[in-house]
Amino acid sequence: MAATLSGTRGGKRRGRGALTNPDARYLQHSREHIDDGWNEADPVPAPLETTVTVERPKSIITRNHSPDVPFDYSINPYRGCEHGCIYCYARPTHAYMDLSPGLDFESKLFAKPNAAELLKEELAKPGYQCRPIALGTNTDPYQPIERKWQITRGIIEVLAECRHPMSIVTKSSLIERDIDLLSAMADQGLVEVFVSVTTLDRNLARHMEPRAAAPPRRLETLRSLSDAGIPTGVMVAPVIPILNDKEIETILTASAEAGVRFAGYVLLRLPHEVKDLFKSWLAEHEPLKAGHVMSMVKSMRGGKENDPNFGSRMKGSGVYAEMIRRRFHTACKRLGLNKSAHRLDVSKFVPMPVRGNQLTLF
């Protein structure tokens, strides 16, 4: 892909999270937009169109070795995410495509339409070891373009056919479309679903996660999944000091009332370019709280704006991080959440038949 110089020019766009489009960090050259007073600024930037490029990877399962995450295998049907969550830790991955982690990340998307076929090939390999596969670890598998592309549903159909266990994390009510598949898998102990609920404040959600489902709609989705017999959980993620940390107990209570059995949380992470994107967003939408927010972030990250170290990057450190941890666990205990670990069943896995192998008939 040819390198492009997108610069930092941007502006507040309706339905988008990032305010700017900084250059990808791996480009040889970069440029910065400076207002020299000669050109009158456009107070309302033009709408940003979402484009989708077909990507055809050679493999689809990513192997993970991080001690901070509870899965070894993951699949990402899409690269980039239209939800536009300003805090998304996956934004810097767009730099690998010579694209910006800002507006490019949420408007220039990549779809993997051969994902289901690749998955069939991997599940047919003689040496394949069955372990739960996680969907939604980097970008949301049910972001808006899934309505057209249906790549996520194709993946689930393959996993259901092979009785392969899986977990899903999403912010989208579109997952209700696949309740037929998920409910059948749940009957065999093959699936669990977590819905991320960052805030119950509609106004905050609209600015912070502009194209994700509204908070009440996410709670309805949790109820629908739970009523269908699907083990459900809520992710209070990310927890952002001053902005939404006061809502931990109310989010957990509302989710418990919707039928969830499990809960987790992750502290705000600001890797690479996300730091500057988030600070710009704070200055625009929460100017009176911006300094306090970043001060508290540093207090939980050893004096820095981000901590990439295993063991502390998800939960933070220090007094305030410990207070959040205790509040979360106390609320979970009071609400009866996380009483026991939910284990997905790997014993039912049936390898995908190898094409043209007649011996599989016997």
Residue 270 lies in a domain: yes
Q: What is the pTM of this model?
A: 0.89
Q: pLDDT at residue 118 above 80?
A: yes
Q: pLDDT at residue 334 above 60?
A: yes
Residue 197 lies in a domain: yes
pLDDT for 187: 97
pLDDT band at 27 (very low <50, low <70, confident <90, very high): low
Query: ∠ at Cα 252 (246, 256), nearest 5°?
Result: 160
**What torsion, rounded to 10 degrees, do the Cα atoms 139, 144, 145, 149 define?**
100
Distance, in Å, from the CA atom of 324 to the CA atom of 301, rounded to the nearest integer, reads 14
Residue 34 lies in a domain: no
pLDDT for 42: 57
Q: Which residues on neighbouring strands pair with residue 262, listed in sequence order? A: 233
Higher pLDDT, 203 or 45: 203
**Number of helices and strands in the chain (H, E):** 11, 10
Closest CA to 179 of 222, 242, 146: 222
Residue 251 lies in a domain: yes
List, for residues 143-165, the tens digit of each pLDDT value: 999 999 999 999 999 999 999 99
CATH number of domain containing 198:
3.80.30.30
pLDDT band at 1 (very low <50, low <70, confident <90, very high): very low
Domain tally, the chain: 1
Amino acid at 35: D
Q: What is the H or E stretch that residue 231 is in? A: none
DSSP state of 194: E
Choose the weakest-confidence range: 18-22, 80-84, 218-222. Answer: 18-22
List, for residues 197-229, the tens digit of each pLDDT value: 999 999 999 999 999 999 999 999 999 999 999
For the segment 55-82, the average pLDDT, to the nearest whole number, is 89
List, for residues 276-313, the tens digit of each pLDDT value: 999 999 999 999 999 999 999 999 999 999 988 887 88
Residue 187 lies in a domain: yes
Higher pLDDT, 357 or 286: 286
pLDDT band at 353 (very low <50, low <70, confident <90, very high): confident
Residue 28 lies in a domain: no
Closest CA to 324 of 249, 219, 261, 262: 249
- Alpha-carbon 282 to chain mean position: 20
pLDDT for 350: 96
Residue 31 lies in a domain: no
List, for residues 217-273, the tens digit of each pLDDT value: 999 999 999 999 999 999 999 999 999 999 999 999 999 999 999 999 999 999 999
Q: Domain range spanning residue 106?
A: 51-340
